[in-house]
Structures are given as structure tokens and as C-alpha cells.
Amino acid sequence: MQTQVKEPQHKLPKESLRVGLIGDVIFDAVVLLIFAVLFGLDFLFEWPAWIGTVLLILLIISVPLLIIGYLGTIIDHRNWRYDIDEEYVQLRQGAWFQKDQLIPVTKIQSVETKQGPLLRRYKLRAVEIETMAGEYSIPALPDKEAYALRDEIAAYAKAKEEDD
């Protein structure tokens, strides 16, 4: 007997894209700061010339990779989907390499919401689902929606547990 599972329909809010891009900018700033410090140390201590050349090559290689990171964040955000019903939590992510996750509600051990400084700034929360097989996450939902989703998943998991 095969069960037909419908495609996940819910998208992440637009604010989650902004949070992802700000996270990318922070990461990029740290990388560029490390390069600046290394170039400063190279100049200050007069390291051998090959070290400066290697640093320059690494910087030139890293700039396009940082830009690709922004594009990846935008594309991933557009393709992220989730859905919940009495049987499964469905997660779909990725554009080039699509990853579909189907988490049986009966296997869920805990569900929680998490919030860091960036998510707090935009009134978003991540919903994390834990099973024996691992942890799964919906990265950024509005506060009220995240709490409602957490409660809904917990209610489905409890109902299934009581049925068994």
C-alpha cells in the first residue's frame, strides 16, 4: 500500500532572506578582516614574498566565492518549502541539489524554537525538530507562526503516541 504525500506548499517569509543575506555579509566581513590582518602582518614583519603572493591569490579566489554565496542564499530561499500534517513533517530545500525530507510524526522526540540576535531583530524564530535519526530545522518563521507550528507538531506527535 502506497501513501500519496502532497507537495510541501509553505514558503519562508521574505524577512528570512534578509536575515540570510545579513548573515552572509557578517561572514564576508570577518573573512575580509582576516585577510586585512594577514596582509598587515605580512607588511609589518616583512614575510617572504611568496606569502604575500599566496594571500593575494587566495583573496582573488575568495571574492567570487563570496558573491556566489549571496546568489546561493537567494536561490535556496526561493526553493525552501515545508508542510505539516497528521502523518509527516515535510521539508524541501535546494535548487540544484534538491533535498526532500519526510519526517514521520511518530518518530519526533522533541520540537523547539530557537532565536539568535539576527532572528530576534526581525521577530523570527527557527523551529527545530529532533528525532533519533537527527535534527531537522525550519530556519526562520515569524514568532507567532513558529510557536503555532511547534504546538501543532507537538500535538500531532502526542496524539500519535497515545494512539499506539
Please indicate, yes or no, if residue 134 is contained in any of the structural domains.
yes
Confidence category of residue 158, pLDDT binned at 50, 70, 90: confident
Contact 102, 90 (CB under 8 A): yes
pLDDT digits (tens, 9 = 90+) for 45-77: 999 999 999 999 999 999 999 999 999 999 999
The CATH code of the domain that includes 120 is 2.30.29.30
Residues 71 and 92 in one domain: no
Please indicate, yes or no, if residue 32 is contained in any of the structural domains.
yes
Hey, is 112 helix, strand or coil? strand
pLDDT digits (tens, 9 = 90+) for 91-133: 999 988 999 999 999 999 999 999 999 999 999 999 999 999 9
Contact 8, 92 (CB under 8 A): yes
Please provide the average confidence, as pLDDT, over all residues in the chain: 93
Average pLDDT over residues 29-44: 97
Please indicate, yes or no, if residue 68 is contained in any of the structural domains.
yes
Domain count, the chain: 2
Residues 66 and 106 in one domain: no
Pairwise CA distance, residues 145 & 124, whole Å: 9
Contact 75, 62 (CB under 8 A): no
pLDDT digits (tens, 9 = 90+) for 3-12: 677 889 999 9
Residues 98 and 51 in one domain: no
Parent domain of 110: 83-163
pLDDT digits (tens, 9 = 90+) for 5-36: 788 999 999 999 999 999 999 999 999 999 99
Please indicate, yes or no, if residue 112 is contained in any of the structural domains.
yes
Please indicate, yes or no, if residue 22 is contained in any of the structural domains.
yes
Please indicate, yes or no, if residue 120 is contained in any of the structural domains.
yes
Shortest CA distance to 132 belongs to which of 99, 110, 101?
110
* Alpha helices (runs of H) in 80-133, residue ranges in sequence order: 117-121
Of 76, 91, 114, which residue constitutes the final position of a domain?
Answer: 76
Contact 11, 80 (CB under 8 A): yes
Pairwise CA distance, residues 131 & 158, whole Å: 14
Contact 113, 74 (CB under 8 A): no
Residues 45 and 69 in one domain: yes
Contact 153, 141 (CB under 8 A): no
Residue 72 has a pLDDT of 93
